[in-house]
Amino acid sequence: MPEEIAPYRVKLLRLQSGERFPAIVDARGLLATQPNIYAMCSLRGRERAAGTGEKRLRAIALALNWASLRNIDLQARTESFELLSPAEIEDLRDALRVNLRAGKGQKARDVVRSGHYVDRCHAVRDYIVWHAEAALQRIRVGDMRLKEARLALDRFVKTMDEGLPSGRPGERDPVGEETLQRMLEVIVPGNPDNPFQPQHQHRNYALLLLYYETGMRRAEALILKGEDLVLHGEQPSVTVVRRPDDPDDTRGAEPRVKTLGRPLPITKHLAQALDFWIKQHRTDLKRYPGAKRVPYVFVSRTGKPLGLRTVNDMYDLLRARVEGLPASLTAHAKRHTANVRFSKESRKLGWTDGETELARNNHFGWVKGSKQGAHYNREHAREMSAQLVESIQRRSASAE
Q: What is the pLDDT of residue 1?
A: 53
pLDDT one-digit tens code per residue, 287-316: 999 899 999 999 999 999 999 889 999 999
| 195 in the same domain as 144 | no
Residue 4 lies inside a defined structural domain of this protein: no
| 250 in the same domain as 143 | no
Indicate the number of domains in the chain.
2
Q: What is the pLDDT of residue 396?
A: 66
- Provide the pLDDT confidence category of residue 192 given band limits of 50, 70 and 90: very high
Q: What is the pLDDT of residue 375?
A: 37
Residue 168 lies inside a defined structural domain of this protein: no
Would you call 211 helix, strand, or coil by DSSP?
helix
| 236 in the same domain as 130 | no
pLDDT one-digit tens code per residue, 272-284: 999 999 999 999 9
| 264 in the same domain as 369 | yes
Q: How far is CA 154 from CA 69, 75, 100, 147, 148, in A?
A: 26, 18, 30, 11, 10
Q: Residue 65: which of 87, 23, 95 has the closest Cα?
A: 95
pLDDT one-digit tens code per residue, 205-219: 999 999 999 888 899
| 275 in the same domain as 155 | no
Cβ count within 10 A of residue 107: 9
| 334 in the same domain as 193 | yes
Q: What is the pLDDT of residue 255?
A: 84
pLDDT at 169 over 60: no
Strand partners, 237: 230, 265
Residue 333 lies inside a defined structural domain of this protein: yes
Element (H, E) at 110: none
What whole-number distance in Å separates Cα of residue 120 and Cα of residue 106? 21
Q: What is the pLDDT of residue 388?
A: 76
- Provide the pLDDT confidence category of residue 184 given band limits of 50, 70 and 90: very high
Residue 368 lies inside a defined structural domain of this protein: yes
Residue 166 lies inside a defined structural domain of this protein: no
Task: Point out the domain boundary residue: 106, 127, 161.
Answer: 161
Q: How far is CA 362 from CA 245, 359, 370, in A?
A: 24, 5, 12
Q: What is the pLDDT of residue 372?
A: 39
Q: Considering only residues 227 and 260, tell me which one the structure prediction assigns the higher pLDDT.
A: 227
Q: Residue 131: which of 202, 189, 78, 167 has the closest Cα?
A: 78
Q: Considering only residues 246 and 59, tell me which one the structure prediction assigns the higher pLDDT.
A: 59
What whole-number distance in Å separates Cα of residue 397 and Cα of residue 326? 29
pLDDT one-digit tens code per residue, 85-118: 999 999 999 999 998 875 444 444 478 888 889 9
Q: Residue 141: which of 132, 150, 154 has the closest Cα?
A: 150
Q: Percent of the chain scored above 70 by pLDDT?
A: 86
pLDDT one-digit tens code per residue, 354-391: 777 777 777 787 654 454 333 333 545 566 677 777 77
The pLDDT of 351-355, averaged and rounded, is: 80
| 214 in the same domain as 123 | no
Q: What is the pLDDT of residue 330?
A: 79
Q: Considering only residues 346 and 98, tell me which one the structure prediction assigns the higher pLDDT.
A: 98
CA 309 to centroid of chain Cα atoms: 10
Give the CATH number of the domain where residue 209 resides.
1.10.443.10
| 187 in the same domain as 115 | no
What whole-number distance in Å separates Cα of residue 386 and Cα of residue 229? 15
The pLDDT of 241-248, averaged and rounded, is: 85
What whole-number distance in Å separates Cα of residue 125 and Cα of residue 130? 9
Task: Point out the domain boundary residue: 161, 185, 207.
Answer: 161
| 205 in the same domain as 305 | yes
Residue 171 lies inside a defined structural domain of this protein: no
pLDDT at 197 over 60: yes
Would you call 12 helix, strand, or coil by DSSP?
strand
What whole-number distance in Å separates Cα of residue 222 and Cα of residue 224? 6
| 223 in the same domain as 140 | no
Phi, psi values for residue 299, rounded to 5°: -125, 160
Q: What is the pLDDT of residue 107?
A: 41
Residue 364 lies inside a defined structural domain of this protein: yes
Q: How far is CA 139 from CA 79, 133, 146, 154, in A?
A: 10, 10, 6, 17
Q: What is the pLDDT of residue 26?
A: 94
| 381 in the same domain as 247 | yes
Question: What domain range includes position 138?
Answer: 9-161
pTM: 0.65
- Provide the pLDDT confidence category of residue 399 given band limits of 50, 70 and 90: low
Would you call 183 helix, strand, or coil by DSSP?
helix
The pLDDT of 185-201, averaged and rounded, is: 96
CA 300 to centroid of chain Cα atoms: 19
Alpha-carbon dihedral of residues 110, 113, 114, 116, nearest 10 degrees? -110
Task: Point out the domain boundary residue: 97, 129, 161.
Answer: 161
Q: How many residues does the chain have?
A: 400
What whole-number distance in Å separates Cα of residue 221 and Cα of residue 211? 8
Q: 144-148, 150-154, 226-230: which has the minimum mean pLDDT?
A: 144-148
Q: Considering only residues 170 and 345, tell me which one the structure prediction assigns the higher pLDDT.
A: 345
| 201 in the same domain as 128 | no
Q: What is the pLDDT of residue 105?
A: 43
Residue 325 lies inside a defined structural domain of this protein: yes
Q: What is the mean pLDDT of the chain?
A: 84
pLDDT one-digit tens code per residue, 29-57: 999 999 999 998 888 655 445 567 888 99
